[in-house]
């Protein structure tokens, strides 16, 4: 797509007092941070949770300080988290490491929804490097086999 020279962005420095001060705010391009976001709707006076373009100098400084701390904290983390969509494929029933699938108890258990090959869909939170390990393993045909341990729910 060719941009006309008249439509090209200027190199001027945008100040908080100019009309275009929120041009760099994500709320002008994607779903706003909230319905009364000033960047997305100039008729509103609720400010913005994603930038520091609105308010008095003190308000903008406080907002910029808060946002900088969030960004710096995210950059300093060694492992970023990924919410990975997964399929849990039921294999068999086990106790103390022993397969009980063919026992009388196992036969009773597999008569329900959990029998070999049943697929459950879910989301699991992984560190980015763990997620990458699973992807690389899958490319070679390897897969992880894990136990499901229910945690108490609040």
CA dihedral (135, 137, 141, 142) in degrees, to 10, reads -130
- pTM of the predicted structure, to 2 decimals: 0.43
The pLDDT value recorded for residue 21 is 59
When the pLDDT of each residue in the chain is averaged and rounded to a whole number, the result is 80
The pLDDT value recorded for residue 111 is 82
The pLDDT value recorded for residue 76 is 63
pLDDT in tens, 103-126: 888 888 888 778 888 899 999 988
| Arithmetic mean of pLDDT, 80-109 | 87
60 phi and psi, to 5 degrees? -65, -40
CB distance 134 to 86 below 8 Å: no
| Element spanning 127, H or E | strand 119-127
pLDDT in tens, 24-46: 888 988 999 999 898 888 888 88
Nearest-angstrom CA–CA distance, 28 and 41: 9
CB distance 63 to 52 below 8 Å: yes
Q: Which two tokens stand for residue 108?
A: 């009773």
**Sequence-separated (6 or more) residues with CB below 8 Å from residue 82:** 125, 126, 127, 128, 131
């Amino acid at each position: 797509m060719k941009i006309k020279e008249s439509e090209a962005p200027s190199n001027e420095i945008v100040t908080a007092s100019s009309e275009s001060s929120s041009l760099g705010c994500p709320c002008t391009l994607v779903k706003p941070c909230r319905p009364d976001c000033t960047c997305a709707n100039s008729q509103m006076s609720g400010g913005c949770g994603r930038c520091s373009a609105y308010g008095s100098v003190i308000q903008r400084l406080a907002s910029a300080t808060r946002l900088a701390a969030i960004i710096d904290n995210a950059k300093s983390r060694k492992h970023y988290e990924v919410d990975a969509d997964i399929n849990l494929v039921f294999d068999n029933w086990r106790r103390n490491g022993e397969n009980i699938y063919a026992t009388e108890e196992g036969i009773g258990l597999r008569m329900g929804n959990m029998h070999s090959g049943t697929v459950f869909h879910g989301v699991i939170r992984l560190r980015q490097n763990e997620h990458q390990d699973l992807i690389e393993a899958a490319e070679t045909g390897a897969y992880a086999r894990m136990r499901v341990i229910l945690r108490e729910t609040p």
